[in-house]
């Protein structure tokens, strides 16, 4: 598997020289500065590609994460021909530059959601955390979204009331800022009235409607991806549950089967994110990987520790609820199968996703969940697992 690393471009507080020292060679990045819906020009793509390669560090732009899907496409809002045409042109420009793997998501409004960005962990350091009680407090008592009564059990609502009554203005600001951190980079962060207004744009859009809009998106882009020799890979919902009254439709094996079954071309694939899928207690992540192995084009490897009320936090890569050794075995086995078929795209790029803030990570103010030392620890652990499994020379059953 190809060791890769998420890099947010020139404004990332972690530099390419530091990334090279982790041992990763594939860079996972995007043109975050380009507004959604606009074409990624050939010139802009080549400039980013040169920036990565000219560091003379053995690095290469391996995966786009993400070529974002405009919110109007997700909502099915108005005439969309120009947006689809721009998206396909960006794909063509990336393919011409030799960047052929695209990770994307179809999550409404917010890409990922956490309620704490620096939750303490044992023995020092911090992690990302999703606390169900805090999320309920935000929905019911800050946003005053009455429909949220139906989304949380009575016990959680009572605890959320207690949290809200005991919270300070600073506590509430911290909570809102953590949730807003999941907005795409090109978007302004909302205050409470602004978030209410943004959510109003989604009124009447249920899971069935969102699924139809997703199917249309696939019909518009997957034939082009197939023609261009690209690999498209949808990222699962994070977390895999409805939030803020917004539906989530890539949360479990049945959802993935719908996406991959709607367009059966090889270009229509999956980003296997073990953390996102692992936050759903019903998901057996190695089993999902086995089921869809032939369509996995990219992997995010991380772990979460779940709690009975639906809360979870980022665990060390080998210490959470998902059997990471089994999962790595599934991916390595799939790579070996592809090699046996003589495929030149047999190698699956992966990156150590998220990580605890450890040691010198403190105070660097990197993107939430993307510290240097914590992710390097994760990469080293994953590298060790994969080396050991490969050394065994066995067939990996997970």
Residues with a known catalytic role = 235, 273, 300, 353-354, 370
Peptide bond between residue 378 and the one before it cis (omega within 30 degrees of 0)? no
Please choose, from the candidates 54, 61, 51, the residue with its C-alpha nearest in 3D space to the C-alpha of residue 24: 61
In the block, which residue shows the tokens 């042109």?
A: 89
At residue 397, the 3 state secondary structure works out as coil
> How many separate helices (H) and strands (E) can be counted in the chain?
14, 12
> Which backbone phi and psi does 353 adopt, to 5 degrees?
-90, 135
- Phi-psi sector, 9: left (phi>0), alpha (psi -120 to 50), beta: left
Q: Are strands 116-120 and 126-130 parallel, antiparallel or unpaired?
A: antiparallel
The torsion of the CA quartet 208, 146, 70, 370, rounded to 10 degrees, works out to: -110
Q: How far apart are CA 190 and CA 383, in angstroms?
A: 39
Q: Which residues contact 11 (CB under 8 A, 6 or more apart)?
A: none
Chain Cα centroid distance, residue 352: 12
Q: Are 294 and 116 in contact (CB under 8 A)?
A: no
Please choose, from the candidates 161, 47, 128, the residue with its C-alpha nearest in 3D space to the C-alpha of residue 367: 128
Convert 292-320 into a string of H (helix), E (strand) and C (coil): CHHHEEEEEECEEEECCCCCEEEECCCCC
Helix axis angle, 207-228 to 253-262, nearest 10°: 50
């Amino acid at each position: 598997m190809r060791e890769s690393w998420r890099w947010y471009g020139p404004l990332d507080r972690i530099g390419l020289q530091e990334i090279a020292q982790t041992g990763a060679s594939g860079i996972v990045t995007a043109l975050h500065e380009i507004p959604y819906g606009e074409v990624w020009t050939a010139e802009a793509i080549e400039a980013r590609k040169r920036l990565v390669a000219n560091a003379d560090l053995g690095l290469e732009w391996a995966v786009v994460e993400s070529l974002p899907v405009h919110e109007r496409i997700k909502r099915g809002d108005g005439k969309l021909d120009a947006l689809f045409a721009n998206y396909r042109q960006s794909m063509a420009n990336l393919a011409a530059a030799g960047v052929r793997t695209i990770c994307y998501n179809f999550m409404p409004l917010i890409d990922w959601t956490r309620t704490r960005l620096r939750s303490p962990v044992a023995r020092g350091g911090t992690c990302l955390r999703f606390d169900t009680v805090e999320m309920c407090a935000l929905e019911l008592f800050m946003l005053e979204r009455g429909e949220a009564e139906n989304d949380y059990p009575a016990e959680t609502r009572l605890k959320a009331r207690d949290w809200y009554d005991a919270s300070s203005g600073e506590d509430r600001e911290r909570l809102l800022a953590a949730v807003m951190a999941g907005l795409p980079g090109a978007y302004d962060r909302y205050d409470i009235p602004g978030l209410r207004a943004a959510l109003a744009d989604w009124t009447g859009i249920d899971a069935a409607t969102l699924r139809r809009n997703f199917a249309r998106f696939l019909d518009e882009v997957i034939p082009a991806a197939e023609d261009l020799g690209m690999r498209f890979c949808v990222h699962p919902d994070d977390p895999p549950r409805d939030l803020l009254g917004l539906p989530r439709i890539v949360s479990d094996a049945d959802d993935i089967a719908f996406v991959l079954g709607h367009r059966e071309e090889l270009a229509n694939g999956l980003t296997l994110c073990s953390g996102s899928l692992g936050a759903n207690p019903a998901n057996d992540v190695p089993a999902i990987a086995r089921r869809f192995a032939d369509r996995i084009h990219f992997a995010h490897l991380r772990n979460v520790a779940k709690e009975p009320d639906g809360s979870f936090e980022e665990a060390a890569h080998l210490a959470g609820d998902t059997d990471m050794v089994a999962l790595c075995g599934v991916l390595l086995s799939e790579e070996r199968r592809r090699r046996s078929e003589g495929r030149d795209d047999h190698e699956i790029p992966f990156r150590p996703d998220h990580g605890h803030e450890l040691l010198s990570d403190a105070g660097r103010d990197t993107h939430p969940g993307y510290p240097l030392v914590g992710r390097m620890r994760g990469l080293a652990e994953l590298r060790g697992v994969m080396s050991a499994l490969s050394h065994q020379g066995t067939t990996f059953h997970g």
